[in-house]
Amino acid sequence: MAFESFTATDIRVEGLRRLSPGTVFNYLPISVNDQVDRQTAAEAMRALYDTGFFQDIELARDGDVLVVNVVERPSIARIEIFGNTAIQTDPLMEALREIGLAEGETFNRSLLDNVENELRAQYFGQGRYDVEVSSTVSPLPRNRVGIRIDVDEGESARIREVHFVGNQAFTDRELRRLFELGPRPWYLPFSRRDRYARERLSADLERLRSYYLNRGYVNFAVTSTQVSLSPDRQSIYVTVNLSEGDRFRLGDVEVVGDLIVEEDELLELLELESGAIFSQADITRGSDRIRTRLGVEGYAFANVNAVPDIDRDTGLVNMTYYVDPGARAYVRRINISGNYRTDDEVIRREFRQLEGGWFSGDKIRLSRTRLNRLGFFESVNIETPQVPGQPDQVDVNVDVVEGLSGSLQAGVGYGSGAGVLLNLSVAQDNVLGTGDRMGVAANRSDDTRLYQINYTDRYYNVDGVTRHFSAFLRDTNLTRRRLSDYNLRSGNVQVGLGVPLNEEDQIRFDVGYEDIRLSPGSQAPSRITDFVDEFGDTYQNFKLLARWSRNTTDRFTFPSAGGTQEFGGEVAVPGSDLTYYKANYSNRRYFGVTENTTLSLFGRASYGEGYGDFSELPFFENYFNGGIQSVRGYRVSSLGPRDDEDGRPIGGNFRVNSSIEYFFPPPFIESNAVRFSLFVDAGQVYNTKQEDIDLDRLRYSAGTAFTWISPLGPLTMSYAWPLNDEPEDNLDRFQFSIGTFF
């Protein structure tokens, strides 16, 4: 670059292999006919080096021509990473691409050095302190290179102890329970609790902070944390230094601002009591409740700011909620996405929030619940963004993820108590996206042959009336089930209407006709042969059925809140060959215990009786108890009264059941279709014509169960221990069934 000042009449670039001269001219701050001197030449070289394209640059003069000699940096032909298992390859490649180290880019050694250091830091954050990272750059033809990164992850260091310094109010043991990190318990050999990760430690510290703030320690702070490594780099010791501060109680609480709603109502919503231990969670929950209440009035963007006033002298925290409701908003448009199978109309008719109406948070929540109850969607997400430039308008964006709403099955299975199952069925809960339900099935087991068809029009009219139709043919041989010695063939046709009373309640009315043919076996007890002798072996009945039901669950599959209730009855009307009536009441409640676990309580009572010429319920209409759907651990339909002649269960006209069950997701698996449970069942069946209802005869069992909503239908397995079985009881501890929701 040793030349005198001159005017460049031309510029020539030499040494290019991949880049075009135009690329150089774009970055070169010298043009033809510009004056070139030492300063402009130095600036030109600096500008070209800054591009990162060149490994060496030289400026020369050939007469009045400026000559730019360059040596290009090689391009990256390929990048390979070996030895990484803790960190997946795809995220690593994406991270390299973001910093400019990718196939086709210009190679820069300093970037590769930074990548090695950053990769080590990532492994250190996962507790792998003896990781080794090395890279090899191999030259390739046409000024290209290949990069190979080798990772030796080594062994992950294990957390041996978590220690707290400065805690007075709570013991180390109490605080360790808050941490997901810690020494691995001996009884959980596959637990990853002792695997250190920086992100997990941060989450634990935030959980620790919330724990103190929710117990009155408003000045709590984590002053520092130390993560120490043993000399052999295999053990980690975590020390958390904290400052608890004084414990405070809640003082005065007031709500100020443009309240819209009466102050007394808002104060009641807060559920805060002066003198109680201060809790940040309660304060935040109060803000959410006020915001929700204002949303009911149409104020979608209300701002509620809870400001504490800490009085150290009195040990009280006075709270003031500043409320700014903003502008009342109405819904401009409801946008639906993700429904590739379900018609828009099906979703819109479940909505209680209407386009053009005032925004209502309650109606939005109710609409989400109604969509979840359909059972068509794996998830329903509703957002209400403000319309840009319109402070009084919102859009309602509904995004659904379609689930499996139908199945086509042909297969062989097994059910406890029913034996081998042959199944051919078509079931669709969302026929052609209309929301209607249809099922056609042919099933055969050791003791039963069943052919059935059903159809439900969920929206027969605009008022939400449903229309139902069903028919079946059943041939049951109870001799094979060891319940009795007779064969029962029946056919049934039934139609009905369901009328909604409100958002949760429905009444349904059905009429039906059935034809029954009874064939006693050669070993049939006298109660069956006497029945045939008196009433014949062929019966035609006309039925009226009515049912009230209530559904307050939050979703169709594995609800976590709400419940279902049902009270119904059927009567074989006068003029039928057999005259009787039956009534049933059931109630199931769900209580969310934690975010992913649920407690379920269930109770049921059923009663039947004959009338007119019949003093009792026909024996083949009796209720039975026991099995996977009632009292697990006891054989299907084995509880209750028995025949005096053959000792087989004969059922009864009164049935009672109850159950308490705790559902929780399987460890290490994130799925909304799988749950484990612990349960206690109770139940019995009685013949009230021959005995009093003796609750001491109730049978109890306890155990564990597994439920999977599989593509073939719900799969349920249980193992139960009978708690008070008698010698005559038939036990079946392990039970399972697989089928479809018909």
For the stretch 169-224, pLDDT in tens is: 999 999 999 998 888 877 777 777 878 878 888 999 999 999 999 999 999 999 99
Helix, strand, coil in percent for the chain, rounding step 5: 20, 45, 40
**Residue 102: both structure tokens together:** 């990718």
Beta bridge partners of 605: 585, 656
**What's the CA angle centered on 85, arms 80 and 91, to 5 degrees?**
60
CA-nearest of 15, 29, 42, 30 to 66 is: 30
DSSP state at residue 86: S
Kindly give the parts of the chain with pLDDT less than 50: 410-417, 740-742
Residue 379: CB atoms within 10 A of its CB come to 14
Length of the chain: 742
The three-state DSSP-derived secondary structure of 395-438 is EEEEEEEECCCEEEEEEEEEECCCEEEEEEEEEECCHHHCCCEE
Q: Please measure the distance between the N-terminal and C-terminal CA atoms of the chain and give it in whole angstroms.
A: 88
Within 8 A by CB and 6+ apart from 712, the residues are 407, 409, 411, 738, 740
Residue 479 has a pLDDT of 62
- Tokens 């139908």: give the residue: 406
Residue 376 has a pLDDT of 87
Residue 337: CB atoms within 10 A of its CB come to 10
Q: Is the CB of residue 637 less than 8 Å from the CB of residue 624? A: yes
**Residue 398: both structure tokens together:** 């509904």
**What's the CA angle centered on 41, arms 39 and 42, to 5 degrees?**
65
Residue 199: CB atoms within 10 A of its CB come to 9
CA–CA gap between residue 549 and residue 509 (Å, rounded): 12
Phi-psi region of 465 (alpha: psi -120 to 50; beta: other; left: phi over 0): beta
**Residue 163: both structure tokens together:** 């220690």
CA–CA gap between residue 360 and residue 328 (Å, rounded): 10
Torsion angle (degrees, nearest 10) of CA 276, 279, 283, 285: -110
**Residue 317 carries which side chain, given as an amino acid letter?**
V
**Residue 590 carries which side chain, given as an amino acid letter?**
Y
Residue 413 has a pLDDT of 46
Residue 168 has a pLDDT of 94
- Tokens 């009792």: give the residue: 616
Within 8 A by CB and 6+ apart from 578, the residues are 516, 535, 539, 541, 572, 610, 614, 618
CA-nearest of 337, 331, 340, 330 to 398 is: 337
CA–CA gap between residue 49 and residue 62 (Å, rounded): 22
Q: Is the CB of residue 642 less than 8 Å from the CB of residue 728? A: yes
Q: How far is CA 510 from CA 113, 467, 496, 698, in A?
A: 77, 10, 4, 33
Beta bridge partners of 451: 442, 473
The helix (H) or strand (E) run that includes residue 682 is strand 674-686
Angle between helices 280-296 and 198-213 (to 10 degrees): 80
- pTM, 2 dp: 0.68
Residue 411 has a pLDDT of 46
Residue 670 has a pLDDT of 72
CA–CA gap between residue 365 and residue 408 (Å, rounded): 34
CA–CA gap between residue 573 and residue 543 (Å, rounded): 6
Ordered domains of the chain (ranges, CATH): 6-72 (3.10.20.310), 75-152 (3.10.20.310), 158-243 (3.10.20.310), 249-324 (3.10.20.310), 330-402 (3.10.20.310), 406-738 (2.40.160.50)
Q: C-alpha 25: how far from its chain's center?
A: 58
Is residue 587 classed as helix, strand or coil in its secondary structure?
strand
Edge-to-edge strand list for the sheet holding 249-257:
249-257, 316-324, 303-311
Beta bridge partners of 330: 358, 393
Residue 245 has a pLDDT of 93
Max CA pair span of the chain: 131
Q: Strand 406-415 to strand 393-402: parallel, antiparallel, or no bridges (unpaired)?
A: unpaired
CA–CA gap between residue 654 and residue 625 (Å, rounded): 10
